[in-house]
Amino acid sequence: MEEIKIQGGNTVSELKLVGIGPGSPDYVTDIAKRAVQSAEIVIGAQRALDLFKDYINGEMLCLTAKNVKEGLVYGAKSAQKGKNVVILSTGDPGFSGLLGSLLNFAGKQIDVEVIPGVSSLQLCAARLRMRWDTALLLSFHADVTDEKKSMLVEFLKYGKTVMLLPDPNSFGPCEVAKYLIDQGLNPETSISVCENLSLENERVATSTLGEVLEQEFEKLCVIVVRAKQQTEE
């Protein structure tokens, strides 16, 4: 049988994509700290760099909304030249994180080691004491498509639970609630909004779609919509 070689499968790569967790130092893993300590270049958003400030010994590159592509390509090229590079990604890199962007910009064959982190979805599920293996997971972060919106409605009409990352600019909790009511969901449907998880100003609130229409929320949040109480939960 032909052997399939997976880049970065179980080897140590010069390029590490490190999940930093939801934001509190309590959720930063030891393996993430060690990777950052030994990196010659550390790339990440300001929030991520701040979280690791005591562990960074190398060059720092701050990612902003305007330089993500350049920053990731710089990291990938530097690693190819033999530099030890760490890219920091909030939560887990594989869920709406920098893994997708890195593979897009630097190529699917790039040799990268992914170090997982605690996702905001995991912490949200823990705070709500809910199982999430039966839920539909969706991210609208910077990518609000009709297809995903339809999946959201279909799953809820089927009686399932949906966990989603909103789009901070155009599809936040109020817009989600309005959209679902417009699509025929009962305004009494349960919705939980978990803001600033693990941070000082964390807030976890459960109400109804109708009530959420009148409220304001922080941009950093995870939403859970439950169409009806499910016996398996």
Ligand X SMILES: C[S@@+](CC[C@H](N)C(=O)[O-])C[C@H]1O[C@@H](n2cnc3c(N)ncnc32)[C@H](O)[C@@H]1O
Nearest residue to the partner ligand X, using Cβ: 91
**Residue 130 or 199 having the CB closest to ligand X:** 199
Here the tokens at position 161 are 């639970």
Interaction site with ligand X (CB under 6 A)? 22-23, 90-92, 95-97, 119-120, 141, 165-166, 168, 194, 196-199, 220-222
- Sheet of 161-165: strand order equals 136-139, 161-165, 221-226, 190-195, 203-208
Of the pair 2, 216, the CB lying nearest ligand X is at 216
Taking the complex as a whole, the smallest distance from the CB of residue 130 to ligand X amounts, in Å, to 15
Please say which residue, 48 or 76, places its beta carbon nearer to ligand X. 48
C-alpha 172: how far from its chain's center? 15
Q: Which is nearer to ligand X, 150 or 169 (CB)?
A: 169
Q: How far apart are CA 19 and CA 114, in angstroms?
A: 8
CA-to-CA dists, residue 35 to 4, 91, 118, angstroms: 27, 16, 16
Residue 15 vs 51, nearer CB to ligand X: 51
Provide the minimum distance between the beta carbon of 221 and ligand X in the complex, in angstroms, as a whole number.
5
Other Cβ atoms within 10 Å of 37 Cβ, number? 15
Question: Nearest approach, Cβ of 1 to ligand X (angstroms)?
Answer: 35
Say how far apart CA 12 and CA 10 lie, in whole Å.
7
What is the helix (H) or strand (E) element at residue 99, kind and residue range?
helix 98-106
According to DSSP, the residues that pair with 208 across neighbouring strands are 190
CB of 91 to ligand X, least distance (A): 2
Q: How far is the CB of 197 from ligand X (least distance, A)?
A: 3
